[in-house]
Amino acid sequence: MARGGSRLMLVLGLAAAAALLVGLYTGLVRAPADAVQGEVQRIMYLHVPTVLVAYLAFTVVFVGSVGYLLTRREGWDILAHASAELGVLFTALTIAAGAIWGKPTWGAWWTWDARITTTAILLLIYLGYLMLRAAVEDQTRGARYAAVVGILGFLDIPIIHKSVEWWRTLHQPSSLARGAIDPVLLFPLWLNITAFALLYAFLLAQRMELGRLEAELTRRRLEE
């Protein structure tokens, strides 16, 4: 990586770390407890940002997959692959945070609620995406197959979003979309959304650089 790129990466990493520290402190310590849910509501400052960043990550996978199928350019595939790994990470964090909230609220770590189930399906789809890439020896063919999975898997996101409207669920509709969050609680929420988005951008850039190095190493081995 060029020196200018390294400096930019350092700035992005420091910005993400600072935003996370400030955001989590503001949400988990400084913000008042919710009048109805009490202290358990604070998990929102983790749960909402991670799910939104997961959606963002899989949107990037969709764009990268379409770009790769249309152009066969390696950069699109590297972008999609890197973002898929991060999407899996943030989706797993979303499910874990939801379970922590669900235990005191619903009395159970897990229920077969429509939104929870469709989110778990999303996680499984993109775990399958990563396993498919690892299983196919021909990288070009594996990238093509994975791109198709990346595009089809993205279709689960609107299903997740609409699940609370289409089916009877325990999960509440999005308070953020409905504008039902008190401004005192909304500020730390947006602060954490920004912080997790910066973290995603930093990790994505790092993983893409690693992907480019892996691709270059593979080309050199084939030339020997």
- pLDDT of the chain along its 224 residues, tens only? 556 568 888 999 999 999 999 999 999 998 888 777 888 889 999 999 999 999 999 999 999 999 999 999 999 999 999 999 999 999 999 999 999 988 888 888 888 989 999 999 999 999 999 999 999 988 899 999 999 999 999 999 999 988 888 887 777 776 666 666 778 888 999 999 999 999 999 999 999 999 999 888 877 876 76
Domains belonging to the chain, first-starting first, are 9-223 (1.20.120)
Residue-wise over 86-103: b if at least 16 C-beta within 10 A, else e?
bbbbbbebbbebbbebbe
User: Strands, DSSP E only, in 46-176?
Assistant: none
Strands (E), the chain: none
Q: From CA 28, how far away is CA 93, in angstroms rounded? A: 17
pTM: 0.91
